[in-house]
């Protein structure tokens, strides 16, 4: 007979509370680093989003302002280089680097672009020198060059060099000269000081003393001066048609190459023709340039006349068609030295 008092049950004993606590702690310690990393990433993404939304536009605008200031400085410096070359009449090359695009900052390397171009100014021709049979001995022409921003992160400003003046061009206002308060002030300064136009025409001469003789070939003791050569110095601007346009966001260069050439002939009549478009222009700066050219030519030609060369028959100025005519009693050597300033980008 089985003893009922011996009741043993075969079953697994439940885990103790301590064991359950340790398991939960292990799971929480494994999840905690993941949560921390996610929170850190959320903070980083929030900071990047705030930086992108609030600070990057401001930083890109500031970078663009600095970039355009660099373009402006390059134009002003290059303009001074042109002035120095005009005065010295020296041959050589000068290069000024210009960044076409700007606005690159940390986490936003995208840059704006720019266009630089060399083109002919209006009016193109300032004056021309030729001889009696119409053969062209030399002429003076102008070009201008400009920079235009493309996709600027601040303002699509541009810069223009024209008639020796650097101007700022903005999409919200008219073109404004940088070296002067207004274009009228620029015109007044050109009329007073000559600007780039005074050194663009020069006239010199070579003479000899002739001792006079009587009909028998004996010296009479009298003498006079004859002009044996008249020398014109002409300055003309030209553009390099192979390198007159560049665009993009990289680095470009403004380049000035100056070279002196000469041409000689014998003639008894010389014509100096001034472009009538200068006088008829509505631009006060152009009219000032015309005034400087006319006065400079008159002063140089009058200085020649004051030498009282016996073989110089005098000069005449015709207002219409704005023509100086110089005449000699017999052919003399005429040399035209032309300093060509070639602008390229």
The pTM of this model reads: 0.84
Q: What is the pLDDT along the chain (345 residues), one digit of tens a residue?
A: 455 455 454 555 555 555 655 666 666 676 777 777 777 777 777 666 655 656 788 888 999 999 999 999 999 999 999 999 999 999 999 999 999 999 998 878 999 999 999 998 666 899 999 997 778 999 999 999 999 999 999 888 999 999 999 999 998 877 899 999 999 999 999 999 999 999 999 999 999 999 998 888 888 889 999 999 999 999 999 999 999 999 999 999 999 999 999 999 999 999 999 999 999 899 999 999 999 999 999 999 999 999 999 999 999 999 988 999 999 999 999 999 999 999 999
Number of helices (H) and strands (E), helices first, in the chain?
Answer: 5, 12
Contacts of 245 by beta carbon, 8 Å cutoff, 6+ apart: 115, 116, 117, 118, 345
Give the containing element (helix H, strand E) for 304: helix 284-305
User: How many other C-beta atoms are found inside a 10 Å radius of the C-beta of residue 208?
Assistant: 11
Core vs surface per residue 7-36: b (16+ CB within 10 A) or e:
eeeeeeeeeeeeeeeeeeeeeeeeeeeeee
Contacts of 275 (CB under 8 A, 6+ apart): 123, 125, 126, 127, 322
Rounded Cα gap, residues 94 and 181, in angstroms: 29
Distance separating alpha carbons of residues 340 and 234, to the nearest angstrom: 8
pLDDT at 1: 46
Cα 193 from Cα 127, distance rounded (Å): 20
Sequence spans of domains, the chain = 52-344
């Amino acid at each position: 007979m089985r003893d009922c008092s011996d009741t043993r049950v075969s079953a697994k004993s439940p885990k103790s509370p301590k064991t359950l606590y340790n398991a939960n702690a292990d799971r929480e310690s494994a999840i905690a680093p993941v949560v921390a990393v996610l929170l850190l990433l959320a903070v980083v993404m929030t900071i990047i989003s705030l930086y992108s939304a609030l600070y990057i536009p401001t930083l890109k605008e500031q970078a663009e302002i600095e970039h355009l200031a660099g373009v402006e400085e390059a134009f002003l410096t290059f303009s001074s280089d042109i002035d120095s070359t005009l005065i010295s009449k020296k041959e050589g090359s000068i290069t000024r680097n210009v960044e076409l695009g700007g606005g690159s900052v940390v986490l936003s390397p995208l840059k704006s672009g720019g266009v630089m171009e060399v083109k002919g100014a209006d009016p193109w021709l300032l004056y021309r020198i030729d001889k009696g049979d119409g053969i062209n001995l030399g002429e003076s022409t102008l070009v201008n060059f400009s920079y235009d921003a493309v996709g600027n992160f601040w303002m699509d400003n541009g810069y223009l060099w024209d008639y020796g003046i650097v101007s700022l061009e903005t999409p919200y206002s008219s073109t404004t000269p940088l070296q002067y308060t207004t274009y009228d002030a620029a015109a007044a300064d050109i009329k007073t000081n000559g600007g780039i136009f005074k050194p663009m025409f020069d006239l010199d001469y070579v003479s000899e003393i002739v001792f006079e003789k009587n009909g028998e070939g004996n010296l009479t003791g009298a003498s006079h001066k004859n002009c044996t050569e008249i020398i014109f110095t002409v300055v003309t601007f030209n553009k390099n048609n192979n390198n007159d346009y560049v665009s993009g966001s990289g680095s470009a260069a403004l380049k000035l190459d100056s070279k002196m050439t000469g041409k000689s002939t014998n003639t008894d009549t010389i014509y100096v023709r001034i472009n009538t478009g200068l006088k008829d222009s509505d631009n006060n700066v152009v009219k000032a340039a015309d005034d400087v050219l006319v006065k400079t030519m008159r002063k140089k030609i009058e200085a020649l006349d004051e030498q009282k060369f016996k073989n110089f028959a005098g000069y005449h100025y015709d207002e219409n068609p704005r023509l100086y005519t110089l005449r000699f009693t017999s052919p003399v050597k005429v040399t035209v030295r032309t300093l060509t300033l070639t602008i390229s980008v």
